Structure 1
Amino acid sequence: MRILHVHWTGLPVTGGVETHLHAVVRQLGALTREVRAVVGTRQSPGCDYDPALDIAEPFVPARAAALAERCLDADLVHWHNPQWHKPEVVTAVVARLRERRWRGRLVLDLHNIDEQPEQWEFLATLPGPVVAHSAFVADEVRHRLPDADVTTLALALPLEEEPYRLPGEGHPTVLQPSRMTRWKGSHLSLEASMTLLDEGTELHFVHAGTQHLIWPPGIPRALLERAEAWQEKGRVHFTHYRPPQSWAAIRASDIVIHPTIDRGAHGEPFSLSVAQAVICGRRILASDSGNLPLLLADYSAATLVPAGDVQALTGALRDAVHRPPVVPTAGDRALAQRLRDDFATAGQRHLAYYQTLADKA
């Protein structure tokens, strides 16, 4: 079976679709040699670049036709988040596949979703089953696309580890291991940490994910200017690390903070980094956005706060910095093992799903 994964970006980031993409393609490659990934960012490790997918490039019909030719050579095309960018490219490729009577299968992978009606209207026009990676996203899709064939598959994550040393030492370290964006609540964790620093609390705040951002971070300028003083004092740090280094970074932290702000369909779709924090036995502060309450329901060292509530987040952080190190319970260890097993076997589960689709064709 010839498998082609398609996504808009493929640069190494903190968490996100790209981390899963690289990991699942690698796992699939160990099971079948006929798997490729094509993306719209240059110099993306293990991926082919296609200008039709480059969100910085205009729509060019000839480029979309060339991308369709790539797809025609595959038995299965797995398109990640087709609704987010350049719908004219997706439409042109699908139309070309239909014109050429392509006998393969198209899979629509919805990693993160939104409330925007036009996105759901667009998705309703596309053929093929839908893959989600959490019960939260799957339920939202079924609610908005009641006729969709939805399957939930585990995300992949590289389990290989590389050394990494977090900046700052000698005080409790609070780490936000997500991309730096307003949606992820980066401004809230920064404000909460600096409020405690202003009160005299001894801590380091580290925010990862400061490179390869698709959208501007959206952090208020006044907040960043306030952070500059604490950066000069060596208490606030903005950094970036590769996915294999994320394990060492999370283990080196005392508290992992992840306050995604959205309460609706654009809530946290899964959170690889929070799952890693569970596996590493860290204390976790998270919002009640999207999948986070489901992911952390059985974890003893998690505190949930209302999404977007900076006062609640600050209070939870004030309490957390004075708590002793986490001693995982038997339930915590069982949850960690389930998550780790899911990450390790995601490629096998994807391949089994693809085979099921092929058998139905």
Structure 2
Amino acid sequence: MQVLPALVTGGVERGTVDTAKALARAGWVSYVVSEGGPMVRELERAGAKHITLPVASKNPFKIRRNAARLEELIRSLPVDLVHVRSRAPAWSARLAAQRCGVPLVTTFHNAYKSHSWFKKFWAGPMAKGDVVVAISDFVADYANKAFGVARARLVTIPRGTDLAKFDPTRIYPERMSNLQQQWRLTDGRPVILLPGRLTRWKGHTVLLRALKILADRHGEQDFTAVLLGSTQGREGYRADLEGLIVQLGLDRSVRMPGDGKDMPAAYMLADVVVSASTFPEGFGRVAVEAQAMGKPVVATDHGGSRETVLPGETGWLVPPGDAEALADALDEALKLTPERRMQIAERARRHVMENFTVDAMCEAYIKVYTRLLFPNHNN
């Protein structure tokens, strides 16, 4: 049984659904508990079973009720192992697993903040799994140092990318043409893409300052930059970005089209993909998806990006918050020869195929489950 707050879009949700689908294919009975969402249908089509509970709640009374309900489910279904993927449901899932005497797996999907006693306390149950999975070595080191998770209980399982979905040979021209019209792109003008929800730590303002530096260097704005992502209610931040775009004189060259519904086609339209996060990414899904599509990437030199980007081979790593360094990297990326661009594309896709596939991720999770359930199992 996997437990997470909800099944909306995101890396946590994607990993949960992919793992549930792999378990169902392998003949396991797979349950997912959440508050629901648009990905439930995909989950159930794959043969897994969804159970709706208010596990996203931080209310201590609801957490107690959730623990009791989870305990009932574990005993009645029955469930042999519980895997929790987020802090709020970890409180009830851990308590239920303890009461029922079943193994608990937790996954650290990021370096949870621990600078205050309350934040560390709130994330505490995530460090109590029989096995604690980290989505990168960066996150594993953080879990060890900040939360005292013993190395013997830590396993790194990187997020997996669906290479059937993120395959440059499967993107039909109509999909790209539709986005070209939506984004108001000009033929022959290079496209700089920054995908990511509109939140301050994603580094949109750093990219905008870098674009201004590029424009001043060359005396023109010979590019179109697309900030692709939903506001998720942060309308004030979007307004701030729109104001900064006008202030920098970039309003003719920057687009903010909202959420990206067709990410593979979006990557295909890009000449370079940027991940400018000022806070370390636990993994950095954008950089990996872009590489799967054969695109050069510029990412910030911290967090999971250090494990997913090969500087000089598949892209560039620049100091976080450094607009000048970001402008330098973008300059190099936009000046790549066709031959060099092809070399990067081949190396980037091979890098993802060798290290960051959905199949590899799911196989690793099933090995963890098998080891806990069948400790004498040879495999």
Aligned match of 1:79: 84
* Aligned partner letter, 2:109: H
The percent identity for this pair of structures is 21
8 Å CA contact 1:75, 1:103 repeated in 2:
no
Tell me which of 303, 311, 323 is aligned to 1:310: 323
Superposed, 1:66-215 pairs within 5 Å as: 66-72=69-75, 73-82=78-87, 86=88, 90-99=90-99, 102-117=100-115, 118=117, 119-121=119-121, 122-123=124-125, 126-144=128-146, 145-147=148-150, 149-161=153-165, 164-165=175-176, 166=179, 167=183, 168-170=185-187, 171-193=189-211, 196=214, 199-210=219-230, 213=232
- Name the SS of the counterpart of 1:336 in structure 2: helix
Aligned match of 1:65: 68
Instruction: Quote the Cα distance in structure 1 between the aligned partners of 2:17 and 2:186.
Output: 32
8 Å CA contact 1:42, 1:49 repeated in 2:
no
Aligned match of 1:10: 7
8 Å CA contact 1:133, 1:153 repeated in 2:
yes
* Aligned partner letter, 2:326: L
**Number of corresponding residues:** 340
Tell me which of 27, 32, 40 is aligned to 2:27: 32
For residues 62-109 of structure 1, the C-alpha deviation after alignment (integer angstroms, 9 at most, x for no partner) is 344224433443211111132xxx3xx53344334434xx13211010
Aligned match of 2:334: 321
Higher helix share goes to which structure? 2
Instruction: Quote the Cα distance in structure 1 between the aligned partners of 2:227 and 2:66.
Output: 38
Q: Once the 2 structures are TM-superposed, how far is the Cα of residue 274 of structure 1 from its aligned partner?
A: 0.7
Instruction: Quote the Cα distance in structure 1 between the aligned partners of 2:106 and 2:350.
Output: 31
TM-score, normalised on structure 2? 0.77
8 Å CA contact 2:83, 2:104 repeated in 1:
yes
Aligned match of 1:294: 307
Instruction: Quote the Cα distance in structure 1 between the aligned partners of 2:57 and 2:220.
Output: 45
* Aligned partner letter, 2:12: V
Q: Once the 2 structures are TM-superposed, how far is the Cα of residue 210 of structure 1 from its aligned partner?
A: 1.1
Q: Once the 2 structures are TM-superposed, how far is the Cα of residue 355 of structure 1 from its aligned partner?
A: 0.5
8 Å CA contact 1:305, 1:313 repeated in 2:
yes
Unaligned 5+ segments in structure 2 are: 44-49, 166-170
Determine which structure has more spread, i.e. the larger CA radius of gyration: 2
Unaligned 5+ segments in structure 1 are: none
8 Å CA contact 1:40, 1:54 repeated in 2:
yes
When the two chains are superposed, the root-mean-square deviation of aligned CA atoms in Å is: 3.2
Tell me which of 323, 335, 338 is aligned to 2:351: 335
8 Å CA contact 2:109, 2:134 repeated in 1:
yes
TM-score, normalised on structure 1? 0.81
With 110-119 and 194-203 compared, the bigger mean Cα shift is at: 194-203
